[in-house]
Amino acid sequence: MFFPVKSALSRERRNELLQFEKNAGARFRDPEMLNLAFTHRSCANEDPSHNQNNEKLEFLGDSVLGMVVATHLYKLLSDKVEGDLARIKSYVVSEEALAIIAKRLEVDRFLLIGKGEELSGGREKKALLADAMEAIIGAFYLDSGYEAAEKFVLSLVEPEIEKVLQNRHHKDYKTILQEYLQKYHRCYPKYLLVKKTGPDHDRTFWISCEVCGAEFGPAEGKNKKEAEQSAAKLAYDDIVAKGGLEAARLMQVENP
């Protein structure tokens, strides 16, 4: 076993992990490894019996996921240019896509989180679900090797790849905005943190998007990435609706 975990799993917990394995179509040789993948740092901080958390597995799983998806796209879409492959990959490995996969596998049911995180709705947080999904991938790679992990990852991400190819996926507005600005205005957006509110375990971030002197937002999110996406959508929708950046900037001057 790669990570020594002191606590023995109860029969009830083993049965829960078996249910997850059934949902995921993957069997772990070491259930302790899978259990560690579900252990959020908030649980490890509050419960001495959980002396480790899933952050290292998340780090590893992120790399495994990226390698598998990049290789698959390279083989599957040999007619696409590098930029197209990068855009598809960026969505498939994104927080949004991983959270969708995690909900499909009911990862939220099996998470081990602290009381504060539980009370703040941690089981529904996209970032927490996505991180757990990466940790599960990392755990399966250590448990069963790369070949098995590759098959597992592909079984998870192929539906998300298909969504992108059919243009049915969640739009990455930061990318859309940047590409639009580069094409039509030759400038880049900047994201500015306006404020953050709430306690450490339940922060709300407010971020504005600055485009060539025009400011859009601020927009809110439960983390910086989410707030930036919301600000980018505000900017993109406003610029396009008003017929371009100059028109949007003029409207801001006339209606401060």
- Would you name the residues annotated as active-site residues? 62, 134
Residues 6 or more apart whose CB falls under 8 angstroms from that of 150 comprise 68, 71
| b/e sequence 129-159, b meaning 16+ C-beta within 10 Å | bbbbbbbbbbbbbbbbeeeebbebbeebbee
Residue that the structure tokens 């927490």 belong to: 128
Residues paired with residue 205 on neighbouring β-strands, in sequence order: 196, 221
Distance, in Å, from the CA atom of 8 to the CA atom of 10, rounded to the nearest integer, reads 6
Distance, in Å, from the CA atom of 222 to the CA atom of 200, rounded to the nearest integer, reads 11
Residue that the structure tokens 């959270």 belong to: 99
